[in-house]
């Protein structure tokens, strides 16, 4: 393993030699320069992990050299050495990008600690950069797998839209990859180094959604013990992804529209307008056009969000992509679960391609991971693959009698809503909170199940 390399810059030869010996003894590789101009030339030729530089030198001062180094490689931490009387100059160096400063005569223990801290800082920065690259790769549009015409059209829209500032509305059934498309837009845009903030609007209660999105001031309401930055502020210089936008309450839609129009946000309980530099991508599995007709979604907000529309096709509309998707999920799952699985038997692949996959890509991925975990051979067999049809057909014959019937999820959900409403004295707001859904979602369920409440 290569030792971290430190450049020591000082026009005092004795001091330079002493530092070189000391720092080498701490396990670092060292190089030295007798003046700022020499240091600048060395930085052009060699990659250093840290620079320790005096401020006062004959030909080029440490401040001037720092400015040149910042232009060549701004990621190198520069530690400034200065006499106590020149602390103001050192503070100026900090403002211009120096990592820290130390006063002469040097406290060697403090020098060692500062170098260690600077090295840890740069290491953490590199790890974060690598992590960001991995996340970006996960959301790269090339990771949206498929060769069908339907998915090619999606990829073309992403390619054309990503470099712009356009607001995007992504629609499609649950499990079709709407978040993957949103991430692909962000990580292929000039905002890729900024945050990508995800918000599931359907998972936030009606009373908390404004605070969650816009933040709140300390004391804005009971329980607001400290100032909170909302998701929009967290997304500054990046992208906010508003998933399940169709569940957002009407009063909140009005506030969101104002934020999108003014590009400013005000925290709950506050008055100061905070300018926003945020791209907005929204997604829904609802039909917003129908919701607009039924006055459940604001028409002006719909058009504000729907500048570019991407519809993620259901898996049964892109059956030709199933083999490629299946192989991709198999490779990923086998690696994750440390299983040596080479592929699918012809019967297994036939089973995969003939099923309708109502849960779309998510269901396919989960089914293949289960098959990988349970597979006994090096190839996935048809019997290893469990689908919704497999579950329904696997109920034992002795249970398929008039005395026994498996309830569907919808029947269970309907009963849960009825029982909760009764327990809450028909208070819909309380029932919605108890069920963990918004009041608007509850009303939709009441209409869907024809519950008279």
Q: Which residues contact 398 (CB under 8 A, 6 or more apart)?
A: none
| Per-residue model confidence as pLDDT tens digits over 202-226 | 888 777 888 889 988 888 787 777 7
Collapsed DSSP state (helix, strand, coil) of residue 34: coil
Q: Where do the CATH 3.40.50.300 domains begin and end in the chain?
A: 144-313
pLDDT at 206: 76
**Among residues of the chain, what percentage have pLDDT more than 70?**
88
State both tokens at 200: 């599931």
Confidence of residue 28 (pLDDT cuts 50, 70, 90): very high
- pLDDT tier at 433 (50, 70, 90 boundaries)? confident
Distance CA(431)–CA(450), nearest Å, equals 17
The mean pLDDT of the chain is 84
- The arithmetic mean of pLDDT across residues 347-367, rounded, is 91
Q: 343 or 128: which carries more pLDDT confidence?
A: 343
Average pLDDT over residues 150-154: 91
Q: Write out the residue limits of the CATH 1.10.8.60 domain(s) in the chain.
A: 316-394
Type and span of the H or E element at 262: helix 250-262
Fold that domain 409-448 belongs to in CATH? Arc Repressor Mutant, subunit A (1.10.10)
Using DSSP's 3-state secondary structure scheme, residue 329 falls into helix
pLDDT, average across residues 94-117? 87
* CATH 1.10.10.60 location in the chain: 409-448
Q: Are strands 78-83 and 100-104 parallel, antiparallel or unpaired?
A: parallel
Residue 382's alpha-carbon distances to 266, 294, 325, 338, 406, in angstroms, are 56, 45, 17, 21, 25
pLDDT of residue 137: 52
Q: How far is CA 297 from CA 87, 193, 205, 240, 423, in A?
A: 60, 33, 17, 20, 30
The percent of the chain in helix, strand and coil, each rounded to the nearest 5, is: 50, 15, 35
Report pLDDT digits (tens) over 54-78.
Answer: 988 888 988 899 988 887 777 788 9
pLDDT digits (tens, 9 = 90+) for 247-261: 999 999 999 999 999
CATH class (in words) of the domain with range 316-394: mainly alpha
Residue range 144-313 forms a domain whose CATH class is: alpha beta
Indicate whether 397 pLDDT > 80: no
Superfamily of domain 5-133: Response regulator (3.40.50.2300)
């Amino acid at each position: 393993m290569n030792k971290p390399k430190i450049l020591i810059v000082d026009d005092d030869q004795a001091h330079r030699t002493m530092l070189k010996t000391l720092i080498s003894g701490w396990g670092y590789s060292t190089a030295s320069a007798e003046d700022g101009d020499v240091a600048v030339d060395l930085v052009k030729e060699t990659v250093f992990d840290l620079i320790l530089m005096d401020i006062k030198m004959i030909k080029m001062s440490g401040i001037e050299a720092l400015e040149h180094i910042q232009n060549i490689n701004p990621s190198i931490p520069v530690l400034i050495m200065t006499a106590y009387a020149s602390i103001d100059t050192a503070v100026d160096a900090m403002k211009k990008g120096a990592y820290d400063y130390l006063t002469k005569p040097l406290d060697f223990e403090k020098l060692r600690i500062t170098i260690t801290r600077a090295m840890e800082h740069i290491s953490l920065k590199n790890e974060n950069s690598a992590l960001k690259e991995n996340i970006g790769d996960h959301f790269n549009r090339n990771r949206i797998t498929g060769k069908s015409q339907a998915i090619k059209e999606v990829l073309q829209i992403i390619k054309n839209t990503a470099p712009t500032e356009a607001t995007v509305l992504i629609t499609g059934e649950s499990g079709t990859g709407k978040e993957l498309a949103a991430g692909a837009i962000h990580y292929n845009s000039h905002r890729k180094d900024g945050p990508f903030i995800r918000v599931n609007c359907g998972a936030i209660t009606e009373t908390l959604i404004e605070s969650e999105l816009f933040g709140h001031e300390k004391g804005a309401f009971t329980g607001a013990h400290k100032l909170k930055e909302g998701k929009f502020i967290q997304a500054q210089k990046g992208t906010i992804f508003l998933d399940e936008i169709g569940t957002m309450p009407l009063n909140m839609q009005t506030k969101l529209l104002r934020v999108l129009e003014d590009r400013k946000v005000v925290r709950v309980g506050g008055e100061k307008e905070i300018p926003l530099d945020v791209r907005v991508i929204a997604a829904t599995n609802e039909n917003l056009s129908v919701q607009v007709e039924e006055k459940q979604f604001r028409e002006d907000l719909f058009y504000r969000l729907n500048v570019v529309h991407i519809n993620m096709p259901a898996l049964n509309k892109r059956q030709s992509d199933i083999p490629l998707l299946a192989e991709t999920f198999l490779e990923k799952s086998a690696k994750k679960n440390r299983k040596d699985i080479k592929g699918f038997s012809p019967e297994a692949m036939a089973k995969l391609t003939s099923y309708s996959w109502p849960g779309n890509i998510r269901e396919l991925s989960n089914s293949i991971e289960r098959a990988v975990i349970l597979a006994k051979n090096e190839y996935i067999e048809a019997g290893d693959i469990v689908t919704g049809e497999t579950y329904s057909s696997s109920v034992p014959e002795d249970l398929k009698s008039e005395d026994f019937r498996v309830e569907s999820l919808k029947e269970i959900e309907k009963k849960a809503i009825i029982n909760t409403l009764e327990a809450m004295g028909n208070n819909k707001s309380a029932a919605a909170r108890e069920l963990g859904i918004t009041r608007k979602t509850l009303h939709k369920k009441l209409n869907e199940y024809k519950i008279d409440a």
